[in-house]
Amino acid sequence: MSSITEKIIKQLKKSNLSLEDRTALTTALLDKLNALPIGDIIYFTNNGLMIDGKELDAEQTNAFKETCASLKDNFARKVIHEQIRHKATEAGIHKSQSIEELMFYKAAIWCLNEENILIQQLSEV
């Protein structure tokens, strides 16, 4: 993390701003610095998939679909996700000392859930 980013984060934590205001300010800064993607990376089209603005042909779409299907059914991935979910839940309940920390652990679980949903959708293209 860059020095300027660390300084900004420290100042935001020290400020009297509400969590909502800090989040809005952080989002505005990231937008201004073009640090957030402008749009989705993966688009579902009538013909299949578009990734990073490039439409996949039938062969590429099929290979992508098969990869997602194997990810969906991968035992090691499921076990790793459950371990991460357990650690995030445990840390969120027993160790978080602020709303920010609790939200961080909640976000970790949200990411796992979103990944599962996306992989499911992509395996059915």
Per-residue pLDDT of 33-43, as tens digits, reads 766 555 668 88
Domain presence at residue 119: yes
* pLDDT score recorded for residue 2: 60
Q: Is the whole model's pTM more than 0.85, yes or no? A: no
Which sign does the torsion angle of CA 51, 53, 58, 59 carry? Answer: negative
Domain presence at residue 100: yes
Tens digit of pLDDT for each residue in 10-47? 777 778 888 788 778 877 777 777 665 556 688 888 87
- For residue 54, list its beta bridge partners: 51
Q: What domain count does the chain have?
A: 1
Task: Say whether pLDDT at 78 is over 80.
Answer: yes
Domain presence at residue 13: no
* pLDDT score recorded for residue 35: 64
Confidence of residue 119 (pLDDT cuts 50, 70, 90): very high
Task: Say whether pLDDT at 5 is over 80.
Answer: no
Quote the CA–CA distance of 65 and 58 in Å, as a whole number. Answer: 10
| pLDDT > 70 fraction of the chain, expressed in percent and rounded | 90
Domain presence at residue 65: yes
Give me the domain span that covers residue 107.
Answer: 37-123
What is the CA 110 to chain-centroid distance, rounded? Answer: 8
